[in-house]
Structure 1
């Protein structure tokens, strides 16, 4: 049993956990946490790494006190247009971007109200494109790490997979693959799953 937080096109490590879990619980009852993959992805660009964050809001309460399923997506800054343009610019020359663009473009055209629902739709689409079929369930209540059994705690990645200060993970070793900007910047590990998909296509699953 594996526990994961919701993600916005999460990193390769996150999808490795999802793919390898016998059963995976997506945390739907926690409070929102800032500066995490819950509303952020990291991609490789000609200028280096770029973080793309979805602006979020609530109906009035503090974000840190808002259940993740109640966090709303804001239209501030035309982020959908900016994020899609960033992906087109970063990966337009990658081997498989054109192959997958029609599957992904609609997510940057339609307006979604809630971050959690948007991320779940993205996850389902990515599982389809990666050709993986995880047993995925949404938690019905929040169980802090201290309330988990030792076996459950060993597979609790809700706060372990994060952009800053990730927890050590002996079960994940990034395997190099082709990247558009590798010659310029070297191999960049554990980027958004989109980086792996656009560069490796149907062989992306072999890295999970």
Structure 2
């Protein structure tokens, strides 16, 4: 199948299940930016349970902006905070050290635009998973898509439908149980090379 989907900040499991099972992937890059979505947030598993990583952006609700034009508010030390959160959450996971050197530069080099940063994150994750995907970008926004399966609704972080993903061992699962559909980083650090097999084996119920 061919799909259209948003590039997000370290995409969650649902995003990657859709992407890895697609023949061709088109990234939606011509829509308007909307706050409180996965465009600039990801969820990881911290010692206290589900934890949000939020990238601050320069954005005004009064003046609509294209996703591609929204800048990151780099005056905040968000990169340092996010990396410290990842260290705190995953340094004891089985595969964190295996991928640490590939991921750490993302939190050391500043990027001006949120879309560009998300695409960098996606590229690094694909390298970690050794994925060779057929990816393109949209050239104009179309509300209705006829020739692709539309997964753009997955960008919404609120009121998500529960997804029947299989459990895997997480660092703090003995404290808070299994937390489904976290960032791909959670799966990568806990399952390592087996992450690809996990993604291929999962089913995704569309809305």
Report the TM-score when normalising by structure 2: 0.91
Tell me which residue corresponds to 1:201: 192
Tell me the CA shift for residue 161 of structure 1: 4.3
- Does the 8 A contact of 2:15 with 2:154 survive in 1? no
Deviations along 1:33-64, one digit per CA (max 9) or x if unpaired, are 11111000000011111101000115xx6476
Give unpaired runs (5+ residues) of structure 2: 200-207
For 1:124, what is the secondary structure of its paired residue? helix
- Does the 8 A contact of 1:26 with 1:138 survive in 2? yes
- Does the 8 A contact of 1:57 with 1:63 survive in 2? no
The reply on whether 1:157 has 2:151 as its aligned counterpart is yes
- Does the 8 A contact of 2:8 with 2:155 survive in 1? no
Tell me the CA shift for residue 163 of structure 1: 2.2
Tell me the CA shift for residue 160 of structure 1: 3.0
Tell me which residue corresponds to 1:29: 30
Give me the whole-angstrom Cα distance separating, in 1, the residues matched to 2:75 and 2:141: 30
Give the CA RMSD over aligned residues. Answer: 1.6
Give me the whole-angstrom Cα distance separating, in 1, the residues matched to 2:63 and 2:42: 20
Tell me which residue corresponds to 1:148: 145
Give me the whole-angstrom Cα distance separating, in 2, the residues matched to 1:72 and 1:62: 14
Within a 5 Å distance, the mapping from 1:166-205 to structure 2 comes to 166-167=160-161, 173-205=164-196
Tell me which residue corresponds to 2:114: 115
Count of residue pairs brought into register by the alignment: 198
Query: Runs (4+) of structure 1 moved beyond 4 Å?
Result: 61-64
Tell me which residue corresponds to 1:52: 53
Deviations along 1:127-182, one digit per CA (max 9) or x if unpaired, are 111122221101000001xx322x63xx21112343211257xxx63111110111
